[in-house]
Structure 1
Amino acid sequence: MAGSLRIWIFTVFVVGLIDSLEASMRPRVSFPQGSLERGLSVYHSSTVKNTTTLLLSSDANTLFVGARDSVLSLDVSQPDNITLKDKLQWTPSKDNLDKCKITSKTVCDCGNFIRILQFLNSTHLYACGTNAYGPQSIIIPADSLKARRDKKDAKNCCPYSSTQRNTATIVDEELYTATNIGYFGDKVISRCLSKGKRNNLVLDSEPKLLNAPVFISSTHISSEGKILLFFTELGDLFGDLFVKSFTVSRVAQVCTDDNGGHRVLQKRWTSFAKSQLVCQQGDELQFNVLQDIVTLLDDDSPDNTLFYGVFTPQWSLSSGQSAVCAFSLGDIKVAFSGQYKTFDNLNCWSRHSNGDGKLGKCGLFNDTDSVLNTVKKTFLTEHAVRPVGNKLLLSSTKELYSRLAVQRIRAANGQKYTLLYLLTESGFLHKVVLLDKGPHTIEEIQIFKQPQIVKNLILSSSKSVIFVGSSEGVIRVPVSSCSVYPNCAECVLARDPFCGWDSENGVCTTVSSTRPNLQQDVEDGNVTEQCTEFINTAAGPATVTRTAQLNDIVVLPCQSRSRLAEVTWRFSDNSVVSQFPYMHQANGSLTFRVTPDTVSTYRCVSEELGFRQTIVSVSVTLPVTPRSFPYPSQQHPDITRDSNKVTEMEPIPKDEILFDETEPTEGKKTAWTTGTDSGSGIQTRNNPMNSAEKDVCISKKSYYAEMVSFCLLFVICLCLFIASVVLWRHSMRCNRTTSEKKPKDSETDNIWQTELEDKQTPSS
């Protein structure tokens, strides 16, 4: 019994924890595709497909796009429009196409997919395409894509396939790339376009260097003179937990000054090392599959540069679990300068002491052959890189995140906040701010109606927009739209670092240095403190009257703008509407059947972060029909209870007494008296009326006669039914008696048969 109780308590705790985590990640506001409040700019062309490789100019006015069989330059300087500036058509040759159709797995892959698009320098672009499994590269002037250019073979530098991920970075006009090469998809990390006497470098063919990697991203760390590469591969868990199929996320390094060894590791990397990235909190299950990672530089303190990555667990992808972890450059440096694992001839890893501190350092290409022989097999760090604070920044059991962008901005109070833009597999972009109390999802915007297989994100901090590349086109999304919040309360409750309430102009506007006195509370969303004037002057919504017949089913809609608000229905006295006979729908609406007891005034109230406001107020009433008067010639007005004007009518004689035979509404007793008003002889009600109402007598239609007729008919039918049952039972009893008795004992049934026998018998 005690064990069952403990299991029950643990289950309740886990369910509550999951619910709380999901509540923190639930987007507060959702904007469907095509919403006027969250307008998106789209570039789409029926002749251009797979617009997934994106490169933004330094002034953020031109977006270069690598597509299938073409390179585009788009004008994105206008906030509401994306136009085509220039286009380079680049198709593979007929020979390459014919060869690709024979050897490739899919004919769809036999095109020229632009997979690398980088700035070679301030004036030229470097573009590389698959070219139907014959990779080719070109150098193009950025201001004129159609200018003369030379095509060069790029078999060891560019990907062969359009379906496999790759990454590339150009430093000092030299290309550092990680990609698949050849028809069999061999993976390499290489340097191409090396200048002067510098060698082009590739990774050695030693085992364990790379094991079925999927390259995700790369970045240049100028302060270290290194290129960091992020990827996943099939890794080794040491000791008793050796699992060959376990996916491991990695960070690897190569030095930009590397030129390969003289006799050992010639034209090979001498600075390659890799370490494990662990996205895990405590002893919980690892989120071990890296989906995307971006860099947030810190120019003041390079060691505080952070890398934000989206991870998913390997064995529960179908559940849609995702997590975001941040890793610091300082922790990565510690891992690469620490102890290592060395790979011996017995296919085993063993610990290698890095006593001299050379492993993980740059400049080893000039070292001795003995050191380089050690480097060949000693490239895996002993200690993994763990997230900042040893915890997850956020996690979700509902959404599968695939891409992200990150920026840090200053709020109205001067404090800096980190914002994450996460693209879901279902086609939504989530905007999340990281707070001291945990993540807060400000909004979600629907980008695609159908999931996209290939996609990419790029953020322009100067323009405050995000560009999303997909198979169908390019979409521009503003990072904020403060005007969607109509009042101070909504603006503060959004907890968006971009938005604050301008009380002078009465608008929610973007935070900037020119607007220092905006009302904003990103951490707590305290409306009471920030919106005092709004609370004191704001009037609730006008009550809407809805007339319905008895027994009608009424649905009162209530849509709260915030999905985090708790919505309740209340009566006019502020008491909560019960669960029965009312039905509270999941979308916030209230459904009930109209009876004299349910005719009332209903208010839909939302409460969020301690602030309560009425969204809608509805008064449900019955239609009022006039009673028949003694004199047919008299006319009377058709008046409802909410009428403010009453048409006068001739008074009823004093000796005419009227009784209200209907039930009163809202629990109030109603009676008619014979009292008069100033001798006019008008019959009045006991409840308060104004002077105009006292001149008119109104009551609801009586159903007394109908009820009497119904009861009488019911009694008659019941009597007939009982009589039929009695007669049927009597008939059945008689038949049973007849079948059991002999003929001679029946005096009534056989009387005619006896007389007939007497006549036939001769007399003696």
Structure 2
Amino acid sequence: MAALFGIWMFKVIFLGLIDPSQASVRPRVSFARGSSERVLGIYSSSTLKNTSTLLLSTDEDTLFVGARDALFSLDVSQSDSITLKDELKWTPSSDQTKTCRVASKLDCGNFISILQFFNSTHLYACGTNAYKPQAIIIPASSLNANIDKKDAKNCCPFSSTQRNTAIIVDGELYTATNVGFFGDKNVISRCHSRGTHNNLELETVPKLLQEPVFISSTHVASEGKILLFFTENGDLSGDYFGNSFTVSRVAQVCTDDNGGTLTLQRRWTSFAKAQLVCQQGEDLQFNKLQDIVKLSPSDSDSPDKTLFYGVFTSQRSVSSGLSAVCAFSLTDIKAAFSGNYKTFDLRGNHWSPQPNTDGKLGKCGLFNDTDSVLNRVKKSFLTENVVHPMDKTLLLSSAEEQYTRLAVHRAQAVDGQTYTILYLLTESGFLHKVVLLAEGPHIIEEIQIFKQPQIAKNILLSKSKSVLFIGSSEGVFRVPLSNCSAYPNCAECVLARDPFCAWDTETRACTAVSETKSTLRQDVERGNVTEQCIEFRNTAAVLFKTAHLNEIVVLPCQSKSKLAKMTWRFSNNSLVPQFPYLQWTDGSLVFPVSLETTNTYRCVSEELGFQQTIATFSVNLPVVPRSRMSPSHQQPEHIDFTTIELDESEPINEEKINDRSEEKQASTYHDAGKDTLCISQKSYYSEMVAVCIFFVIFCFCILAFFVVLWRNGKRCNKILPQEQPQKGTESDKICQTEL
């Protein structure tokens, strides 16, 4: 019991450390799979299984897809279709597959784990090949022509279950992966080096890599470096988490590195690593990196303004549903690598400070330096300073969703303001579109991508096509970055606060922001409908419902926005009380009909200070016909609803509603040219009375019959023995008959 209480308290404390305004962030609207308002494109085939890698051509008209036992090139130049251009079947040999299965491996196919452009015309692909990695170089224009096989030793992963990262710069492959039949060797290497460059690997020293999981890598041309992102086991023995606490890292290697002459021969002389910390203040951190992407600055800005957006989760089971997004600047990463370092003391089994007084540690071009410097570099590879997120705050945190992959994009709004938009894939199979505002994150929408929850291995953004490509076991999905037509009026368009969408007062439609026009209305920061939708007139259809006394009435009301507060009001705008009314979670109002509850009800949604009527109902009792009805019209057909269009800019007038209702229903029944109004259900009152009377009479007759039998039986039993009638006499026959 104490343990359970402790876990509960830990959850309370952990959740309490998250900014409440961030923890409560929810998607504004949600689109289910197959929704006509959010149409997704998909390419699938019987040979496209287990999509593992995606790569876009330079013109972004062709999408290359690495899958199991096959490599595809897809035509994505058209906005409404994805078609197959070419396919390369690439399967392991039967002998290799047999060897793999004998070793009890489950992924004995050829899973393409690396797919990069080798140069401007050719692709480099590497597959697991049933635990015997194989690499090929093929023309991008024809996947089946001139296949050149390459040695993949220490360059490609053996297993499809282990994450890896790779990037090609100037024809040289920089890769970080686990190799070996059992995946027990961790490598960060340079393969296929050109000219005077040597293929390089890491030196095997304690604490260099501790069970790493490689996440991503990127080339920073301005620094001449490759940055690698991964997680590994940390050394926090004094921490309450214990010895197996996961830490997130950013590491560097220099592209000009060629290894030392004597010390660190064919080994990296520029390798260094720093800790990435995704936390706010002194709060408990999100320590497990899931994905990270680079967002380059504009051409006019300094490369130091490059940002890295990462998704982090917590490794502990009690908080496995928590995730956060942090942004790191290249400036802060450079500062960490140029600062002081730590050296691991084998005798004391601890880290000791290593001042970087000469600035040699973490510097490129050390391969020509002295052995004493290289020996110090060999032992001092961990920075003393950690890399904190920008402004030391979380961009987004969620206590409900666990994010696994992300893409990031910048979009310019109508007013010229540039906004950062995140596309986050959840573990449950949804895509969240998030815009970062001054007041905090706003989830514009969520889209269900997968039928069944799964973790996609890749997500790729095409800026020119304004789409996302997502690879999965179901196929390759094409998701438009926005769908402005889903917002039917000015209010909904403005409340969406989507930088991609604005209301065009000329076409009277929510349209994509492609150019600056004076007719576009948008307010991303505040979503102020009153200022932007001056000509907007909120009209609603009034539904008339007739019901009998004590009948239970359900008035439906649903808002597309999950952020709107739904309330029910009477015609005088006063709030509907809690009794005898009940408001369901879906917004519906439920109550029994009485003389007091026959009224006009308005369902009102309020969002960002703007109120709009979603639905209006007028609930009435049956009325007496105005004119005499013929016998054939004694039981008129039941009319459940009558619809009347009213302008919501004017207050609801009960007399006006009743007058319009009578006008619309006056022609429903006719008798000899006279109009008759009846909006009543058929009454069964007279039938029920007749049945009840018949039942009472029937019961009375049965009771009387048994009373007569009882009285006669009692009279016969009172006859004395000497007065008993003889058998066969008239008296005996009477008693026998009565009994």
1:231–1:708 Cα change, 3 Å: same
Offset of 1:703 from its aligned partner?
Answer: 7.2
1-structure distance, mates of 2:353, 2:138? 49
Alignment partner, residue 582 of structure 1: 581
Alignment partner, residue 275 of structure 2: 276
Offset of 1:103 from its aligned partner?
Answer: 1.9
Deviations along 1:214-254, one digit per CA (max 9) or x if unpaired, are 00000000000000000000012376779420100000000
1:432–1:633 Cα change, 3 Å: closer
Alignment partner, residue 162 of structure 1: 160
Give TM-score, length-normalised by structure 2.
Answer: 0.83
Offset of 1:600 from its aligned partner?
Answer: 2.1
**Residue type of the alignment partner of 2:418:** K
**Residue type of the alignment partner of 1:304:** K
1-structure distance, mates of 2:463, 2:31? 22
Alignment partner, residue 311 of structure 2: 310
| SS class of match (2:535) | helix
- Answer yes or no: is the 8 Å Cα contact 2:136–2:147 preserved in 1: yes
Alignment partner, residue 752 of structure 1: none
2-structure distance, mates of 1:12, 1:112? 46
- Answer yes or no: is the 8 Å Cα contact 2:435–2:444 preserved in 1: yes
1-structure distance, mates of 2:351, 2:639? 88
Offset of 1:42 from its aligned partner?
Answer: 0.2
1:380 aligns with 2:379: no
1:93–1:621 Cα change, 3 Å: same
Alignment partner, residue 334 of structure 1: 335
Offset of 1:453 from its aligned partner?
Answer: 3.9
Question: C-alpha root-mean-square deviation of aligned residues, in Å?
Answer: 3.6
- Answer yes or no: is the 8 Å Cα contact 1:412–1:517 preserved in 2: no
**Residue type of the alignment partner of 1:132:** A
Offset of 1:348 from its aligned partner?
Answer: 2.2
**Larger deviation, residues 360-369 vs 509-518:** 509-518
**Residue type of the alignment partner of 1:160:** F
Offset of 1:455 from its aligned partner?
Answer: 2.4
| SS class of match (1:195) | coil
| SS class of match (1:38) | coil
- Answer yes or no: is the 8 Å Cα contact 1:104–1:110 preserved in 2: no
Q: Runs of 5+ in structure 2 lacking a partner? A: 1-8, 643-653, 656-673, 700-739
Deviations along 1:629-679, one digit per CA (max 9) or x if unpaired, are 8x99998896999999xxxxxxxxxxxxxxxxxxxxx99xxxxxxxxxxxx
Alignment partner, residue 514 of structure 2: 512
**Residue type of the alignment partner of 2:362:** G
Given candidates 413, 430, 433, the residue that maps to 1:431 is 433
2-structure distance, mates of 1:149, 1:634? 88
**Residue type of the alignment partner of 1:87:** E
1-structure distance, mates of 2:199, 2:584? 66
1-structure distance, mates of 2:186, 2:115? 20
**Residue type of the alignment partner of 2:277:** V
Alignment partner, residue 743 of structure 1: none
Alignment partner, residue 591 of structure 1: 590
| SS class of match (1:618) | strand
1:569–1:16 Cα change, 3 Å: farther
- Answer yes or no: is the 8 Å Cα contact 1:63–1:75 preserved in 2: yes
| SS class of match (2:520) | coil
Q: Bigger radius of gyration, 1 or 2?
A: 1
Alignment partner, residue 145 of structure 2: 147
1:601 aligns with 2:604: no
Give TM-score, length-normalised by structure 1.
Answer: 0.81
**Residue type of the alignment partner of 1:557:** P
Offset of 1:551 from its aligned partner?
Answer: 2.9
Q: Runs of 5+ in structure 1 lacking a partner? A: 1-7, 645-665, 668-693, 718-764
1:641–1:621 Cα change, 3 Å: farther
1:266–1:547 Cα change, 3 Å: same
1:114 aligns with 2:116: no
Offset of 1:18 from its aligned partner?
Answer: 6.6
Deviations along 1:40-73, one digit per CA (max 9) or x if unpaired, are 0000112220112000111111000000111100
**Residue type of the alignment partner of 1:278:** V
2-structure distance, mates of 1:699, 1:66? 66
Alignment partner, residue 191 of structure 1: 190
Alignment partner, residue 725 of structure 1: none
- Answer yes or no: is the 8 Å Cα contact 1:453–1:471 preserved in 2: no
- Answer yes or no: is the 8 Å Cα contact 1:624–1:641 preserved in 2: no
1:12–1:606 Cα change, 3 Å: farther
1-structure distance, mates of 2:497, 2:603? 23
2-structure distance, mates of 1:401, 1:567? 29
2-structure distance, mates of 1:370, 1:428? 54
1:260–1:241 Cα change, 3 Å: farther
- Answer yes or no: is the 8 Å Cα contact 1:52–1:455 preserved in 2: yes
Alignment partner, residue 263 of structure 2: 264
1:387-536 matches, within 5 Å, as 387-534=389-536
1-structure distance, mates of 2:14, 2:609? 25
- Answer yes or no: is the 8 Å Cα contact 2:122–2:137 preserved in 1: yes
1-structure distance, mates of 2:486, 2:545? 30
- Answer yes or no: is the 8 Å Cα contact 1:626–1:638 preserved in 2: no
1-structure distance, mates of 2:635, 2:206? 97
**Residue type of the alignment partner of 2:569:** R
Offset of 1:451 from its aligned partner?
Answer: 1.4
| Same amino acid, percent of matched pairs | 67
**Residue type of the alignment partner of 1:593:** P
1:200–1:643 Cα change, 3 Å: closer
- Answer yes or no: is the 8 Å Cα contact 1:248–1:276 preserved in 2: yes
2-structure distance, mates of 1:204, 1:16? 41
1:216–1:240 Cα change, 3 Å: closer
1-structure distance, mates of 2:374, 2:201? 15
1-structure distance, mates of 2:571, 2:120? 68
Alignment partner, residue 28 of structure 2: 28
1-structure distance, mates of 2:17, 2:352? 44
Alignment partner, residue 136 of structure 2: 138
Offset of 1:461 from its aligned partner?
Answer: 1.1
